[in-house]
Structures are given as structure tokens and as C-alpha cells.
């Protein structure tokens, strides 16, 4: 009967540790889900998408090309 008591005690302690670890993992996953949701919400506000950036740079380069062309054709050169 003594051996059964020791086995039950070790299994109880082991399951307690496993339960605590599982609870910590569960809490960490919930926190990560909240952080990911916040990141998805805030990301478009802080950063520009690559395609939008390229389109805007293309427009700026076109405007600069027109300005340089007008400067090249200026009469009082």
C-alpha cells in the first residue's frame, strides 16, 4: 500500500505541474491573440503599403520630370 501512496503522490505533483504549465500557455496564447489583433488594427495607420508607396513615388518622379523639362526649356537660359 505504501508504493501506491508514493505513486499517487508523484502523479499528483506531476499533474499539478502539467496543469500549471498548461494554464500559463493558455494565458500566453490569449495575450498573443490580443496583441495580434491590436497590431492588425494599428499597422495600416503607421506604415504605408509597398504598392501605395511605389505609386506615390512614381507620381512624384513624373512631377519632377515635368519641372526639369520646363527648366530646360526656359528662355532666359
Q: What is the tens place of the pLDDT at every residue in 11-28?
A: 999 999 999 999 999 999
Joined grid coordinates for residue 8: 499517487
Express each pLDDT in 31-64 by its tens digit. Answer: 999 999 999 888 878 788 888 889 999 999 999 9
Buried/exposed code over 6-44 (b: 16+ C-beta within 10 A; e: otherwise): eeeeeeeeeeeeeeeeeeeeeeeeeeeeeeeeeeeeeee
pLDDT band at 77 (very low <50, low <70, confident <90, very high): low
pLDDT at 18: 97
CA-CA distance, 20 to 2, in Å (whole number)? Answer: 27
Amino acid at each position: 500500500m505504501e508504493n501506491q501512496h508514493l505513486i499517487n503522490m508523484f502523479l499528483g505533483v506531476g499533474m499539478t505541474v502539467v496543469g500549471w504549465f498548461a494554464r500559463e500557455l493558455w494565458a500566453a496564447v490569449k495575450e498573443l491573440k490580443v496583441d495580434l489583433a491590436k497590431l492588425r488594427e494599428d499597422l495600416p495607420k503607421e506604415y504605408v503599403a509597398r504598392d501605395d508607396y511605389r505609386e506615390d513615388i512614381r507620381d512624384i518622379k513624373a512631377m519632377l520630370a515635368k519641372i526639369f523639362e520646363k527648366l530646360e526649356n526656359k528662355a532666359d537660359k
